[in-house]
Amino acid sequence: MKIQKTIKINASAEKVWEVLWGDYGQVCKWASTVNSSDYREVQGSNNGGRACMSTWGEIHEIVENLDIENKTYTYYADGLPAIMKSAKNTWKVLQKGVNTSEVSIDLDIEFATIPKIFMGWMIVPKMKKDVNQTLADLKYFIETGKLTEAKIKSDQKYFKKKGQKAA
């Protein structure tokens, strides 16, 4: 399954890049699909990765390519849920105007055969919804400095289950 999406954000590419790459380990600050995350040094990767507790479970990402000058990075997921064989994602930020940028995501996921056969009708729409929500979360966070309602609710649910208070 391939998902490619692009959104416009009313902010400079530098500001967007600072959130996406400069604070890479803290995606949990703004993405409703990620409730906790941290940067990790990864053997064999010059750029490290991150561990995320997401709505799909615990996922470890390893940065495969990083191009700071062109504001793009690609990571692949390790330790995926059993329903997925592989996942690779590329983020790219382009300056479009003085205070306008474009953010694109290029996600490629290969699902395990049996889960895809029996649960594909649920998995694919959820994945598309999650990508759309993540981009909406990013846009709202950068433009307003606030969290979306989806992020607030996601954290409340996650931390209630954990017996902790949401940030």
With a cut of 60, say whether residue 55 has pLDDT above it: yes
Residue with tokens 């029996």, as numbered in its chain: 118
With a cut of 70, say whether residue 165 has pLDDT above it: no
| pLDDT at position 85 | 84
| pLDDT at position 166 | 54
Cα angle 18, 88, 119 (rounded to 5 degrees) comes to 125
Give residue 130's identity as a one-letter amino acid code: D
| Segment 98-135, tens digit of pLDDT | 999 999 999 998 887 776 666 666 777 888 999 999 99
With a cut of 80, say whether residue 83 has pLDDT above it: no
Report the mean per-residue pLDDT for the chain: 90
| pLDDT at position 64 | 95
Give residue 121's identity as a one-letter amino acid code: W
CA distance 137 to 157: 17
Instruction: Please tell me the total number of residues recorded for the chain in this structure.
Output: 167
| pLDDT at position 45 | 83
Tokens representing residue 2 in the block: 């391939």
Pairwise pLDDT comparison (19 vs 122), residue with the higher score: 19
| Segment 135-145, tens digit of pLDDT | 999 999 999 99
Give the percent of the chain with pLDDT over 90. Answer: 67
Domains defined along the chain, listed by start: 2-159 (3.30.530.20)
* Nearest one of 93, 88, 83 to 6, comparing CA atoms: 93
| pLDDT at position 82 | 74
CA distance 88 to 106: 8
Give residue 27's identity as a one-letter amino acid code: V
